[in-house]
Amino acid sequence: MNTNNETNLEIHAHHCDVDDQLRAHIEEKVDGLEHFWPRADDAHIRLTCERGRFDAEITIISGGLITRGEETADNLRLAFDNAIDKIERQLRRHKKKTLARERRAGNRNVMDAEPPLPEEARLEHDDAEEDETRMVRVKRFSLKPMSPEEASMQMDLLGHNFYVFRDADNDTIGVVYKRKDGHYGLIEPDAE
């Protein structure tokens, strides 16, 4: 998949077996992603079976960008195939956006050309009682400096509805999020 060197493919199976035939299928499908993303450095596949349901989680890392797909199905191969299909759709969208952006005159930053965000761009909060809410997962990650446009593309590649990033222009922490109308929003800290 990588023209300079091989993709580092890691397959982790939990409560399920990956035979040689499935391993060859996984390698073939991951190699097939080069049509959309020829620079993949790492591919991490996590396959699990819980209560008769199979879960496939695929993470592809390339040049600092990460795309992820996760699906559940009645059999392991179908779960993997559905997850890789999800990644292909994300990469197809990413490639289409990248090509469109490159065609724009002057390669201007789309986020800078948009008007300021309206006041309705706020974080929603849960009205549940504090003692009923509990922290069930903590994620830690490094904040790579990038533009809001790059952060929104990374959010799409991960399939998330928000993404926290460090703004390369002003070194502040920002959050891009997907609005109900399909557009993107940006939350910036107030410099008081």
> Mind listing the pLDDT tens digit for each residue in 54-107?
999 999 888 777 889 999 999 999 999 999 999 988 888 887 877 777 776 454
Mark the ranges of the chain whose per-residue pLDDT is less than 70: 1-5, 38-39, 104-134, 191-192
Q: What is the largest CA-CA distance in the chain?
A: 60
pLDDT in the model for residue 122: 34
Cα angle for residues 127, 132, 134 (degrees, 5° grid): 100
- Fold of domain 120-187: SHC Adaptor Protein (3.30.505)
pLDDT in the model for residue 192: 63
The tally of CA atoms less than 13 A away on the side-chain side of residue 113 is 9
pLDDT in the model for residue 135: 74
- pTM of the entire predicted model: 0.58
8 Å CB contact between 176 and 153: no
The second-level CATH assignment, the architecture, of 8-103 is 2-Layer Sandwich (3.30)
Q: So where are the chain's domains? A: 8-103, 120-187
Cα(122)–Cα(25) distance, rounded to whole angstroms? 44
The DSSP code for 111 is H
- Calculate the CA 57 to chain-centre distance: 12
8 Å CB contact between 34 and 40: yes
